[in-house]
Amino acid sequence: MAWPYYGSGFPLIDRSITRLGRLLTILFVVLMLRAAWVQIFAREQYQENPYNPRAHPGVRDRGVIVARDGEPIADSLGDKRNYPFGPALAHVVGYTSLRYGNAGLESVYDSVLSARDGAETVFQRLSEVVDRHSHRPARSGGRIVTTIEPPIQRALFTALQPYDHAAGIVLDVHTGAVVAAASVPSYDPNNLDADFPRLARDPDSALLDRAIDGLYPPGSTFKIVTAAAALQSGVVNLTQTFVDPGYLDVAGARIQDDNREATGIQTLAGAFARSSNVDFAQIALLLGAPRLFAQIDAFGFGQPLDFTLPTVHDHIPTAPGLSDSVLAQLAFGQADLLVSPLRMAVVAATVANGGREMAPTLIDQVTSADGRPQQRVPELLATPLTPATAAALTQMMIQVVNAGTGTAAALPTIQVAGKTGTATNPAGAPHAWFVGFAPADNPQYALAIIVENGGYGGRVAAPLAARVFAAALNK
């Protein structure tokens, strides 16, 4: 029997067709392997790329972010992501957008919220690819429980709202938990897609989280660090006196107090309460750069702060070759020194916690899509103060509020401890600061508040602190 012949009758053409077929088969296999590699092995790399618009396939099954008491701060209503706190918590919770990516907690915990964290093995990832292409129902995302306490958060944001540019942050003294954090101007994450082009060009930088990413000269709030160095080194004691005639000339630079005041003869506590720049310049010169910088380093200034959200680094002058005039100004928080409100809140909390510095955090618990909960455990960062030094600083900070520059922070039935700051900056009016904690005899909350170009810290920032402490302790 003769078999039919399907060739072309031209052996050269037949061989070419065979080779082409083999080549196409190889290319097809390569493409399939590449697609499998991208979807299974290299998936995380592409998902975490902020320029990947397909990293946000939708929000219908996205997980929920809640406050400490369970109140939602980010959830999904159908195909729309919902932010019940609106501008009051925008910088903390952030946003998720198909067009503009993620920010805040929505970004940090995107893999948990979008249920991608469960794919831990190649086989699980392959199964997810099959599910996606077979249109099986998507898994719901995980659950993030934050440390935010809604009454304190609302009180802080309301207190800051009247100002053009301001920020504040409140910590649980014993655990480092951030119970409130706010920055103004703010934005409404519910309208992010419509507002983003305007926000990106906003000269007031409404997208900037000033509480953790703003850098400012701390002014006289930094006298807490200088006083700590003086006491712990033994160079200065609580009964030692200093003379402030209103100015001090150091290496060609003239040091003066705010409003050119002269505090006269004061002990360390008196100089602290009345916030004498002249006295603290003298203290810095007695200390010398090595002792002062040892205390600065002990607090962790200039080092990365391991926080839930990305943070900026402090700017600290270098000790070697530091002139006496710069050292004198550093003592009261000037001289090219830049820190964040978060950093100063940690300093206040450390004093309140007996010298123990706790790692700040925004997270209480993370539950993955498969139901596995992970509870956050408070973490000790360092112990920059002895209990005796912390106790002495507490009494000095009480005196600031009772009879010094911070009387506007006082509450009728609760003892507040704090320190004011009026930080000179070359761009305009001074920044107004207040850092402190309450109740002073049994500390629960510490805070830092700054009002950009606000003027005198005791008049502007201190009363805001009183309002926030009142809300926190009466909630």
Query: Which residue type does 311 have?
Result: T
User: Of 334, 86, 84, which Cα lies nearest the Cα of 222?
Assistant: 334
Question: Alpha helices of 260-306 — where are they, by DSSP H?
Answer: 268-273, 277-287, 289-299
Q: Report the run of H or E that residue 434 belongs to, with start and end.
A: strand 428-438
Tokens of 368: 């993955």
Between the CA of residue 169 and those of 92, 183, 425, 464, what are the distances in Å? 11, 9, 22, 12
CA angle, residues 90, 141, 371, in degrees to nearest 5: 120
User: Of 256, 274, 321, which Cα lies nearest the Cα of 293?
Assistant: 321
> What is the Rg, in whole angstroms, of the alpha carbon atoms belonging to the chain?
29
Tokens of 3: 């078999």
CA 297, CA 145: separation in Å to the nearest integer? 33
Q: What distance, in Å, lies between the first and last C-alpha atoms of the chain?
A: 98
CA 404, CA 399: separation in Å to the nearest integer? 6
CA 232, CA 302: separation in Å to the nearest integer? 21
Catalytic residue at 220? yes
Out of 76, 111, 183, 220, the active site residue is: 220
Task: Note the Cα 162 to chain centre separation in Å.
Answer: 22
Between the CA of residue 292 and those of 128, 152, 284, what are the distances in Å? 56, 35, 7
Within 8 A by CB and 6+ apart from 185, the residues are 164, 165, 202, 204, 205, 206
Query: Which residue type does 168 have?
Result: G
* Tokens 């207040």 sit on residue: 434
Q: Report the run of H or E that residue 178 belongs to, with start and end.
A: strand 178-184
Within 8 A by CB and 6+ apart from 383, the residues are 355, 356, 357
Within 8 A by CB and 6+ apart from 206, the residues are 185, 186, 187, 199
Pairing of strands 64-66, 143-146: parallel
Q: Which residues are known to be catalytic?
A: 220
